[in-house]
Amino acid sequence: MEFQNGNILASRNPDKPLTGVDGLVAVHLAHQGRHYVISSPNQKHIPLPPIGRRQVGLKANFRYGLEDHSQWPQFVVPKYKHLVTIPRKTTDSTDPLHIIWWDPRPADFIPSSTGIVSGLGTISQLRLQQLETVMGILSQSVTEFTTSTPTPSDDVLESFSKLQKQMEYAMRSLQNHKRSFSETAFNVTEFQRRFLELHGFFSFMKFFRNRSGGALASADNVMGGFTNEAEMAQAMFDARVPVWYVEEWDGSPLLRNILAVVDIAMPNLSIVMSDHDPPFPRALDVEMTSENRYGFIYTHAAERFISGDSFSSGISSLPTNSSAVASSSSRRQRPLETGLSPFKPLDSPYAPYTIPAWITALEAVHNSQANIANTSRNGTQYMLPDPGLFIGSPHMQRYLKTFLQIRHAWFSAIAHGHGGSPLFSDEWLLLLNMDVTKPPPTGNTKKAQQQRSVWEKLHLKSNVLNQGVAINSELEPFGDPDWDGQYYPGDTEIPPNVVRNIFWWIYEYNFTEELIVLDVRLTSAIHRDPKRRPAGILHRREMEFIAPCFGSSPTSFFKHAAIINQNLGLAANDVRERLPQIPDDEKIVFTLTLFQVRVSFVTLPNESDGLSDDNTYMDDIKDKETDSHPVDGLETTS
């Protein structure tokens, strides 16, 4: 059979109202030997659909090209329906949202003048402020919606919280971390993607799911999506969400009301399709209707932050309780010494304030030597140097300044799966004792060899994101240590309140990393034996018990949270979904009412009521109970 445009227009009727499966326009698409008609009842163009099986991977601009849901309409999948209401790219350069589709350029990158590594930096303050402004506007809108009446259901509120925290963490990465230009550009696109998903979820819940049947003001300001389900097409059409209905076609005359046939709209130049040079190693070959493609995009971003295993030595990681560190001779195998409990808090004005309940719980931990799997080293691995190395040391200020100088290089070295691993306390002490403005010693002494070994761990392994990053040579300028925008040159001491702030940040970071590693170890063991626990239960356990420990810290960013995109129970948006709840709630209300009646009858009367005879009073109660509806059946006639 020939595939003629005339057959697409066979049921054309301009005077008949359109439905979700009809079309202002339509197009015939042939793909891999199959034929489709794609139509839209509320758009005058048909974008090229990402159809079939495709490679999902990062492109040259650190986005995902035609398969990126923040750039181009995708197929609607149940778990991610809210992506259809992501804002469409604005062409108005004065619109505050214009920054959300901005691609960073080298001119927007401000190289750092401090630290031991060259090639690290941040985006310009102007661009950062623009991103912060739109984040503030969106956060305010979300707050107003989630505190309005009717209030969304608890599951929806939790979904809002997860998405908002992930966006905030992505912003803090831009505010606080110095990275290479490539990684900074990737972090910008990651923030933009998080922002757009929250914005889309907000619009979805406010308009698409609105209880009063409200719709978007225009079908042209959100992304929309493709669907091959007639019911979904109608729902999107009713909500004024751009919809493109895809139906396989055998060439026969269509019964749908199609008003015009057009050419398919190809992606414009803003959708970068070329690969990065050099290309990113990871890509996913997947059907475009699969939910896995979205999970891949989120986990790909998260995996860049996963660093080494602080328990790789087999020794449980315990807080350092003093500034004393074993000498190099302690590397010989010998049992761990016991004595002062390492779970007791540090006694120092620089240490974070203690929580009594935590102290009691930690002291009760059973930490006998029998539970230690490996006693070959007298030390503990830490992602960052434990504050116990600083506190009590006469060299605390020097150690802190050295740490501030190397911290960005260290984060770059351990991130992105570079293979970097946490350091033992004695290794950290060797590093903090070095003059990082000079190359490591070249001698053959044991100390010199150890310092060179530790120094090598700061070197980055080459990959796509860290191009142009290198350890400074002694001939290059070396900036002053800085923290939170404040510099501490020469003999300038870091104030006590800043020291406490740095220590708290280190404690929190180490704790976060260790809990993540423990979680990964546990889930890895379970995944090796699928019969022990289904993956769905694992995911819920991580979201319920791990992520809430940190709020908007890296853990909640790692976990790809399940988003509930509909109100449930009596808060359901569709009245048909609320009706089944009413009988149960009626029973509850009736039971409470009956209870109140009982209580009012049992209230002792005043003498003036003429009911001073106790027997008469109790008889009255029994009579009234007999007249009431029976409690067991909860049958009502009202």
- 237: domain range? 1-86+223-291
Q: How far is CA 7 from CA 20, 42, 47, 236, 245, in A?
A: 19, 21, 21, 26, 17
**Phi (first) and psi of residue 340, to 5 degrees:** -60, 130
Amino acid 576: pLDDT = 58
As for how many domains the chain has, the answer is 2
Tokens of 492: 């300038």
Q: How far is CA 244 from CA 5, 75, 171, 632, in A?
A: 18, 9, 34, 53
Closest CA to 257 of 23, 27, 46: 23
87 and 100 Cβ atoms separated by less than 8 Å: yes
Q: How far is CA 414 from CA 88, 91, 214, 239, 259, in A?
A: 37, 40, 49, 47, 58
SS3 616: helix
Residue 249: inside a domain, yes or no? yes
Query: Which parts of the chain sit beneath pLDDT 50?
Result: 211-213, 305-307, 313-341, 377-378, 417-419, 475, 551-560, 591-592, 594-638
Give yes or no for a cis peptide into 278 (omega within 30° of 0): yes
SS3 39: strand
Amino acid 436: pLDDT = 75
Mean pLDDT of the chain: 74
Amino acid 151: pLDDT = 80
176 and 120 Cβ atoms separated by less than 8 Å: no
Closest CA to 476 of 109, 180, 110, 116: 116
Amino acid 543: pLDDT = 54
Which among 291, 323, 350 is the end of a domain? 291
DSSP one-letter string for 1-13: ----HHHHTTT--
For the CA atoms of the chain, what is the radius of gyration? 32
Amino acid 437: pLDDT = 73
> What residues form DSSP beta bridges with 264?
46
73 and 242 Cβ atoms separated by less than 8 Å: yes
> What residues form DSSP beta bridges with 471?
117
Amino acid 399: pLDDT = 93
Residue 481: inside a domain, yes or no? no
**Phi (first) and psi of residue 393, to 5 degrees:** -85, 140
Tokens of 450: 């150890």
Residue 338: inside a domain, yes or no? no
Which among 291, 320, 340 is the end of a domain? 291
Which among 232, 260, 291 is the end of a domain? 291
Amino acid 554: pLDDT = 40
Amino acid 548: pLDDT = 58
DSSP label of 252:
S
Residue 507: inside a domain, yes or no? no
Residue 598: inside a domain, yes or no? yes
Amino acid 16: pLDDT = 96
Amino acid 410: pLDDT = 83
Kindly give the interhelix angle for 446-456 and 425-432, rounded to the nearest 10 degrees: 100
> What residues form DSSP beta bridges with 75?
226
**Phi (first) and psi of residue 222, to 5 degrees:** -125, 170
234 and 19 Cβ atoms separated by less than 8 Å: yes
How many CA atoms does the CB half-sphere of 219 hold within 13 Å?
17
Q: How far is CA 2 from CA 8, 177, 250, 257, in A?
A: 12, 60, 9, 20
Torsion sign, CA atoms 301, 304, 305, 310: positive
Residue 509: inside a domain, yes or no? no
Q: H or E element: which one contains 75?
A: strand 74-75
Q: Which long-range contacts (CB under 8 A, 24 or more apart) does 522-528 make?
A: none
Tokens of 402: 């050295």
Is the pTM higher than 0.75? The answer reads no
Residue 18: inside a domain, yes or no? yes
DSSP one-letter string for 467-516: TT-EEPPTTS--PPPEETTEE--TTPPPPHHHHHHHHHHHHHHHHHHHHH
**Phi (first) and psi of residue 444, to 5 degrees:** -105, 10
